[in-house]
Copies of this chain bind each other. A is one copy, B any other.
Amino acid sequence: MLRIVAITGMPGAGKSTAAQALVKLGWSRVVMGDVIRAETKRRGLEPDAKNTGEVMKLLRKERGESAVADLCLESIFRQSAEKVVVDGIRSMAEVEAFRRRAAVLLVAVDASPERRFELLRERGRKDDPLTHEMFLERDRRELGVGIGKAIALADETVSNQHATPDRLAGEIARVVERWEKHGPA
């Protein structure tokens, strides 16, 4: 049976670092944002922030709240992957779509707003710095889609508040190995 580690978390919390740690352990990786960007290009649009946002809204309108998860599942089944880490869960509707087709471990990666802002700024381009206003707006947008519920209902929570990337990687590996061995705790 298909196994999916579904990773959620606020912007900048460390979702990609966590997902990449699983790639090193042999998991395939699907980034929900990439799937939206691909769909944006398919519709003949430049995949910038504005257009991907618009396409995401359109997709939800056309195919329901789990639209992006459904596109991810299509991509996963095309690849015939058996162990997949999905990076970028935003709502329980998405989690439920994955649960209909796979055994799913929902993992929340958490860090405080201050730390996420700092991590996003480090990651960002120097010539286009993230302002605090933009950061708050992005948080509001994610919370508006229902990411808070997905975080609150996660099967596992991994804190990236004081962790190095290596420690975060170790923690997520431990959590996933435990799941593979014993099933959900």
> Which residues on A are within 8 Å of B, measured CB to CB?
10, 108, 110, 112-115, 139, 143, 146-159, 161-162, 178, 184-185
Question: Looking at the complex, which one of B114, B157, B185 makes contact with A110 (CB distance below 8 Å)?
Answer: B157
* New A-B pairs, 12, CB < 8 Å, besides A151-B151, A157-B157: A10-B152, A108-B110, A110-B154, A112-B153, A112-B154, A114-B155, A114-B184, A115-B185, A143-B149, A156-B159, A158-B159, A162-B178
Q: How far, in whole Å, are A115 and B159 apart by their CA atoms in the complex?
A: 18
Closest B residue to A171 by CB, please name it: B159
Residues of chain B lying within 8 A (CB to CB) of residue A113: 153, 155
**Complex: A178 Cα to B114 Cα, angstroms:** 16
Question: A152 contacts B151, CB within 8 Å?
Answer: yes
Report yes or no: B152 in contact with A112, Cβ–Cβ below 8 A.
Answer: no
The CA-CA distance from A151 to B146 in the complex, in Å, is: 12
Q: CB-CB < 8 A to A154: which residues of B?
A: 110, 112
Q: Taking the nearest CB of chain B, how far is it from the CB of A93, in angstroms?
A: 13
Hey, which chain B residues are within 8 Å of A178, CB to CB?
162
**Closest residue of B by beta carbon distance from A160:** B157
Question: What residues of B have a CB within 8 angstroms of the CB of A151 in the complex?
Answer: 148, 151-152
Q: Which residues of B sit under 8 angstroms from A143, Cβ to Cβ?
A: 148-149, 152
Separation of A161 and B162 alpha carbons in the complex (Å): 19
What is the distance, in angstroms, from A105's C-beta to the closest C-beta of chain B? 9
**Which B residue sits closest to A113, measured CB to CB?**
B153
A112 touches B155 (CB 8 A): yes
Query: What B residues does A149 contact at CB under 8 A?
Result: 143, 148
User: Taking each of A108, A148, A152, which has the highest tally of chain B beta carbons within 10 Å of its own beta carbon?
Assistant: A152
Most buried by B among A153, A157, A185: A157
A169 to chain B, nearest CB (A): 17
